[in-house]
Chain A
Amino acid sequence: MRNFLSDKVCAIKPSGIRKFFDIVSEMKDAISLGVGEPDFDTPWFIRDEGIYSLERGRTFYTSNSGLKDLRCEIANYIKRTQNIDYCPDSEILVTVGGSEAIDIGLRAVINSGDEVIIPQPSYVSYEPCAVLAGAKPVIVDLKAENDFRLTPDELLAAITDRTKVLILPYPNNPTGAILEPENLAAIAKIVKEKDILVMSDEIYSALTYKGKHVSIASFDGMKDRTILINGFSKAYAMTGWRLGYACGPSEIIKQMTKIHQFAIMCAPTTSQYAAVEALKKGDEEVEKMRQSYNQRRRFLLNAFKEIGLDCFEPYGAFYVFPCIKKFNMTSEEFATKLLMEEKVAVVPGTAFGDCGEGYLRISYAYSLENLKEAISRIERFIKKLS
């Protein structure tokens, strides 16, 4: 029989997380700090609205671009948080999670050989999605001494004549880094000069701990060259509902909608009804969760200091990214050993790009009790090493 597989797909490296997942899931009673989703249940009033929509028999397809009500609420949300005006009819598309928006956003703009700049460490799907879309990924290795922020010099060094898209993954998974307005202004200036499109993945925008999140799309002249991606998974603890959205220039959204309509049809209807409610009444719940995450963040940073684990202070998402270079082990060795000896699962930084070597991603989407137990195990582990 001949080989039916696509060369392009076969060439994609399997996710580094997957490999580690297989080891962890074999392990009984391990404490995991490896999860990239909230520990909170979706707030009850949001779930209740989903149930109610089912009771009313709202079980049909919605329009391709999503429920009109939902697109209007998204427009309101972005207006009140970022002061940007998006037209619900032509500039907003409801997708199956932020992940779909990343995929179809790239597919809608890439011609074969276009270059996409991807700062790393970052979420695992940018690079494969860019490759599948036919682009050449250009990786920028972010540095701990810059708190993992993309600097203007790093960006300039990565730009060529073929550069079309810059992916801007802030607040960042896995580092927890954010970009502040002055950082964004510098990037916006370069991007305009070099005529580049920005794909700004702002899925963690509601979870920042130093001032409010600012979108690059809110800068002068940037709305026309930004695909803003966000969703409900992280802010509203709705990962399983699979719901996100993209906002951008109508000509790009129009092409994205084409792919979306042929590949997906529409995002899950139940989720869309629930999401309308989330945007209308969810602010208070989001703030409560943010406050809890912030307490845990402070707890972890303080605990790391006490047990001698170096870590820059991250101001976003729900991850810390401590450095383990002084233990003379690779991230993977450290994580594997920690799992085997103390049964604590963390994700090696290398799962998010080669430059994650020497770091671990530790999630604080766990209760304080959980984190305390994990820290005491990590402390014991580190003491044995030194």
Chain B
Amino acid sequence: MRDELLSILEKNSRIDFKELAVLLGATEAQVLDEISKLEKENVICAYHTLINWEKTDIEKVSALIEVKVTPQRGQGFDRIAERIYKYPEVKSVYLISGGYDLLVSLEEKSLKEIAAFVSDKLSTLESVLSTATHFILKKYKDHGTIINETVKDEREVITP
């Protein structure tokens, strides 16, 4: 049940327990129990909402920043990653294989603020060797969801 439960919740975290139980062919109590276990084990870390900010009046600018760092003895990349992810404006931090080390995604109100974050906060960290900032111009698909998708059923209405 666990895998199927997770794949439903990953797409729709607002689904109610009653419906979940029906879809999974389980009882509500079983579903509740499994979800609380998953939360306790930190398998389910949080429930988020995917928002298309472009359709609101709120200005948001996002950037992806490639960061090259010097890993620290005994702590590898974890220490420097922590210093970066503690900033609330940082949305995600990944350790990456390849040409650079950390990929940081950032969301701010303006381009200026992103510039300020990179020059004042990020670049000045001792172990940061270099940064390369990429601004996001348009989001086509996020978290497995196509942002501006209109679904139309092209099938014939009745077929044998």
Contact = CB atoms under 8 A, between A and B. Distances in A.
A345 B157 contact: yes
A295 B24 CA distance: 6
A17 B160 contact: yes
A24 B155 CA distance: 13
Contacts of B25: 294, 298
A342 to B, nearest CB: 15
B156 interface: yes
Contacts of A299: 19, 22-23
A35 B155 contact: yes
Contacts of A34: 157-159
Contacts of A37: 155, 159
Contacts of B160: 15, 17, 36, 123-125, 173, 351
B158 A295 contact: no
Contacts of B155: 35, 37, 39
Given A39-B153, A291-B4, A295-B8, A347 B22 contact: no
A302 B22 contact: yes
A30 interface: yes
A39 B7 CA distance: 19
B1 to A, nearest CB: 12
A36 B156 CA distance: 9
A25 interface: yes
A237 to B, nearest CB: 11
Interface in A12-34: 15, 17, 20-21, 24-25, 30, 32, 34
Interface string B108-145: 00000000000000000000000000000000000000
Contacts of B24: 295, 298
Contacts of A351: 160
Nearest to A99: B160
Nearest to B22: A302
B22 A35 contact: no
A353 to B, nearest CB: 12
Nearest to A366: B153
A284 to B, nearest CB: 12
Contacts of B153: 32, 39
A21 B4 contact: no
B114 to A, nearest CB: 34
B4 A25 contact: no
B8 A345 contact: no
Interface string A316-354: 000000000000000000000000000001010001000
Q: In this complex, which of B153, B157, B160 has the most chain A Cβ atoms within 10 angstroms of its Cβ? A: B160
8 contacts: A24-B158, A32-B153, A34-B157, A37-B155, A124-B160, A298-B23, A298-B25, A302-B22
